[in-house]
Structure 1
Amino acid sequence: MLLNEVTCWLCRSSVISQQPSVRRTSTAGILCIGRRCNLWSQSWRRCCMVASFRLTLEEKTLEGETFLTLAVKAGLVENVKMLLDHGASPHTTNSKNESPLLLAVRAGSHQMVSCLIAGGAQVGQVCLKKWTAMHEASRAGCVHVMELLLQHGGQVSQTDQHGVTPLGIAAEYSHAEVLELLIKHGADVNAQAPNGDSVLYDAAGSGNPDCIDILLQHGANPNIHNLSSQLPIHRAAYEGHYLALRILIPITTRRALRLSGHSPIHSAADGGHAHCLELLLQKGFDINALLAPHISENYGDMRKSPLYFAVSNGDATCTEMLLKSGAKPDLDPLCCLLVAVRSGRYEIVKLLLAAKANVNCYFTAVNDTVFPTALQYCLKDEVMMRLLLNNGYDAEKCFCCNHDDDWDDLTESDYSQHQEEKVAFCDFVSVSWLVNLVGRVVLILLEYVGQVSLCGKLTKILEKHKEWPHIQLDHT
């Protein structure tokens, strides 16, 4: 009678949904059973178990959870024990390929983990992305759970799909106690992932000085590069971890830095960390250190200087610090000033001009022009244009060309054919996507030059613009 009553209750609760060949159970329904079973007597729970045996204990909900994974997630230890006692497999994973043991470790439940191991759970079971309970314990930072896993066969050298050991995970998540425990059980402090990242590199990324000290005390090498030529000191500088950086500076060799092809000054500037820049400068690092060719060529703009990183990131604070400390503004193939002008960074442009950046620099990789390059990037921005002109931009170069007065209009195809030659201003602005700007630009330029000649080509273009009467007046 009791068994029938339980079965009827299950049906009324819509726990079971049967289809011709597949039976599925809703998460809500199973959780409902799990919670009620937790309140009922032991005999009543067993009755429920027996009554529901027409569903196997490995059935999954629509969301892909099993009875056991749901019980573990809900933290119901007694229900987990009962399911295991009645044959539920501790190895069956949910739809995310997470085992009950991994979920118990994630919850940090020593009792649940112990129960599952006693029920046959395998500590080394590989889940999604080759992630194991050991990796999960390292991420969670639960020392007691890690001890339990190690006592039952946990492997300190097992790697996930990225080739990272539990020690690397503990370092990444700043769990010093777990680090010490794993090292005590033989973990390799100089283990490297396939991309070359060392455990110390991971620790530098998290910035925990205690973790870094523990690794160094047990022989971790701070001079191991990864495949991107990055050292732990670069990682600490990029992430802005001041204390970690202070530890790594005196123990990182100049040889290792030279072989890496770049300075931690680059990393700190790229990360935007002025306090780390200041520390590195105090320790004697060269503010004008240049990227080695094999590093520079990884960037499309072929950048070289630390200042370039700050400018390209739009970081006025680091730009100002670097310039005040003696950074040279014109060390890169694409000058920092051009980068700032193109990005419309007025404050940074002012800082660079105050530091004597060459306002008349050229970048010929795209357009080899007669006039200095900066004007190309601010034809629509009068404020930026005047900022350059007021600081010595050579406006007269915009009126230098070899055109005769009867020069016919240059077509866009002609423009393309003349790219191998130096391009005059009148040619540059005559294309369809710029020609509408010419009137206003020329009117401004004429304010900053003496008597100049307007070639026939430029005159023909200007005659079509509303500014032409004013230009005639200013030009005569």
Structure 2
Amino acid sequence: MTRFSYAEYIALFRSSDTKRNSSPQKISSSGRAANRDEEVSSAVRRAEACDSDDWTALHEAAHRGQTHCVQALLTDPGMCVDKRTLQEQTPLMLAVHGGHLECVRSLLEAGADPDISNKNKEMPLYKACEQESISVVKLLLASGAAVNQRCYRGWTALHEAARRDNTELCETLLRAGAAVDARNTDDITPAIEAARHGHTGALAYLIQSGAGVNAQTCDGNTALTQACRHGHTETVKLLLKHHTDANEATNAGLLPLHIASQHGHKEIVSLLLPITSRVRIRQSGISPLHLAAEHDRRIIMSLLIESGFDVNSKLSQECSARFQDRRVSALYCAVAARNTRAAAVLLKAGANPNMDPFSPLLLAVRDGCLETVALLLEHGAHVNARPTAGFPAVLLYTHQLDVLQYLLDHGCDARTCFTCSRHHSGEHTHFRSHTVNTDATKPELKFCDWISSSCWRHSAGRVTDLLLDYVGNVQLCSRIRDLLLDQPEWMSIKEKTCECIMNHSTFASKTSVELHRCWDDHAMVVCLTAEQLNYLKKQSH
């Protein structure tokens, strides 16, 4: 087969793209017409030649909109008008994609099939709607194009017309028999697609033509939920005017009010509040406040609170179980998302900071957010909560000394960190992580276990040194002492523990023998100053 040359072909027919004045055509008609006929004949002889993508001269002419060349090539009795490229594109598809009306007309008159799809199963009619070429659409429909044909994802030409907000296209397709509620593979209808993009004109026409306003997608979304999600206020108004159900939930259980609150669309929330059933909200298991707090929608939160939503409403057990931390409150959602100002709105309105299984204060401490920590403590968060540990749980999550000091200044009980009696005899409990123990059958977590864990050993001296500034009359167990001996804060810790012993009311009554026992016994690890050691030496002689 003779290989077709694009350069030669384009050179032959480039002149067909240029409009000529009538007078020059007449002057040179005999010469140029003869040359053109010779060029056409040459092209026709090579018409079936293909390039590496299986493009023929007809594909190229249709793609370029060269109507004269298309017509000339179609005169060849052996020409295949529906030949496909490697991308399964016919000359008709290429002409439609380029919006070349006369080329489309010539191909259709030559018998081109208007329903041959490309590799993505898109039909020429779908492509014409994508190009918003009403003339091409009408021509294809007049030639018998299937108006409800779908692409590989189930989109129809009407879906594309609605997406483009082209009412004229919608009207043309519907008059040709397009299904007004055609569904794609996700059960999206043209009306839902129009609502998603906020195309009120196309949506109004579709509703007028009988489109269902309460149709749902496979995940339970409606035209209203899509308009609420994307903030299309006028579209929401149109749908409500046509009695769309504002209490239809998605498969996730969310009502349109939930979705509008989550995305922060105040005007839409105001439209939905009077018509949304509070019973349906309770049945959903989640308040719009939870979503607004999580996404830092403070204006929406204030609007919901003013409308009577309870700041202490809890997630249902089913909703709470979706979270590993078993959260229940809107306040927890705000703190978990590090939305301090949203948390402030809730606390000011009376939110309880102590109603979640895992305290929001622990989250704030873990994140090192001193502003949130202060806010929660100011509104009554329990600083000494210890669900399964023998010391305040906030210490488990304190990674910054300034936060720890703030907690201690506001009542965190440091004394409970030094009540260990298990390690006085050399017993050691291996502690692998600093997570809270939730198994009630396991031993209570002690401070020495936690501070000895690999992730905290490097700062054990600094933490212990700071804690000792807030307690008196405490004893260090053997495990803490062994851990701290090689840390730079050990000298400071020695001084503080000695002061604790010197201030102990029973120290003065001990004999020198008893003091020696205290020194040797790991059950009471203390470090004495040089003056005290000299005193012991004198007493022992």
CA distance in 1, matches of 2:440, 2:459: 21
CA distance in 1, matches of 2:242, 2:317: 35
Which residues in structure 2 correspond to 1:263-278 (within 5 Å)? 263-278=287-302
CA distance in 2, matches of 1:434, 1:30: 75
CA distance in 2, matches of 1:314, 1:403: 39
CA distance in 2, matches of 1:114, 1:392: 79
Aligned to 1:196: 220
Q: Is 1:377 the counterpart of 2:397 in the alignment?
A: yes
Q: Is 1:25 the counterpart of 2:55 in the alignment?
A: yes
Q: Is 1:390 the counterpart of 2:409 in the alignment?
A: yes
Q: Is 1:470 the counterpart of 2:507 in the alignment?
A: no
CA distance in 1, matches of 2:109, 2:181: 32
1:217 positional shift: 2.2
User: Any idea what the Cα deviations from partners look like across 1:289-343, whole Å, max 9, x if unmatched?
Assistant: 1112222222222111111111111112312222222222222111111122222
Choose 1 or 2 for highest CA Rg: 2
Which residues in structure 2 correspond to 1:206-225 (within 5 Å)? 206-225=230-249
Q: Aligned with 2:226: secondary structure?
A: helix
Mark the CA change 1:54 to 1:444 in structure 2 (over 3 Å): closer, same or farther: farther
User: Any idea what the Cα deviations from partners look like across 1:21-76, whole Å, max 9, x if unmatched?
Assistant: xx6239xx9886346444xxx44331244579666534124x55443333333222
1:354 positional shift: 2.5
Q: Is 1:234 the counterpart of 2:258 in the alignment?
A: yes
Q: Is 1:163 the counterpart of 2:187 in the alignment?
A: yes
User: Any idea what the Cα deviations from partners look like across 1:190-217, whole Å, max 9, x if unmatched?
Assistant: 2222333233222222332322222222
Aligned to 2:378: 354
Which shifted more, 199-208 or 179-188?
A: 199-208
1:224 positional shift: 1.7
What's the Cα RMSD here? 2.8
CA distance in 2, matches of 1:47, 1:297: 71
AA partner of residue 55 (structure 2):
T
AA partner of residue 50 (structure 2):
I
AA partner of residue 146 (structure 1):
C
Sequence identity percentage: 33
1:448 positional shift: 2.1
Q: Is 1:2 the counterpart of 2:39 in the alignment?
A: yes
Which 5+ residue runs of structure 2 have no aligned equivalent?
A: 1-37, 499-541
Q: Is the 8 A contact 1:68 1:100 kept in 2?
A: yes
Aligned to 2:156: 132
Which residues in structure 2 correspond to 1:72-91 (within 5 Å)? 72-91=96-115
Q: Is 1:186 the counterpart of 2:220 in the alignment?
A: no
AA partner of residue 446 (structure 1):
L
* TM-score when normalising by structure 2: 0.78
Mark the CA change 1:244 to 1:204 in structure 2 (over 3 Å): closer, same or farther: same
Q: Is the 8 A contact 2:331 2:360 kept in 1?
A: yes
Mark the CA change 1:44 to 1:431 in structure 2 (over 3 Å): closer, same or farther: closer
AA partner of residue 468 (structure 1):
W
* TM-score when normalising by structure 1: 0.88
Mark the CA change 1:88 to 1:346 in structure 2 (over 3 Å): closer, same or farther: farther
CA distance in 2, matches of 1:155, 1:414: 61
Which residues in structure 2 correspond to 1:42-441 (within 5 Å)? 42-50=67-75, 57-61=82-86, 65-362=89-386, 364=387, 368-378=388-398, 380-411=399-430, 420-441=442-463
CA distance in 1, matches of 2:77, 2:107: 12
Q: Aligned with 1:307: secondary structure?
A: helix
User: Any idea what the Cα deviations from partners look like across 1:216-235, whole Å, max 9, x if unmatched?
Assistant: 22221111222221111111
Q: Is the 8 A contact 1:403 1:457 kept in 2?
A: no
Q: How many residues are aligned here?
A: 458
Mark the CA change 1:398 to 1:114 in structure 2 (over 3 Å): closer, same or farther: same
AA partner of residue 466 (structure 2):
I
CA distance in 2, matches of 1:345, 1:52: 80
CA distance in 2, matches of 1:37, 1:188: 40
1:258 positional shift: 1.8
Q: Is the 8 A contact 1:404 1:455 kept in 2?
A: yes
Q: Is the 8 A contact 2:81 2:107 kept in 1?
A: no
Q: Aligned with 1:16: secondary structure?
A: coil
Mark the CA change 1:106 to 1:468 in structure 2 (over 3 Å): closer, same or farther: same
Mark the CA change 1:214 to 1:52 in structure 2 (over 3 Å): closer, same or farther: farther
1:418 positional shift: 11
User: Any idea what the Cα deviations from partners look like across 1:232-286, whole Å, max 9, x if unmatched?
Assistant: 1111111111111111000112221221122211222223211111211222211
Q: Aligned with 2:443: secondary structure?
A: coil
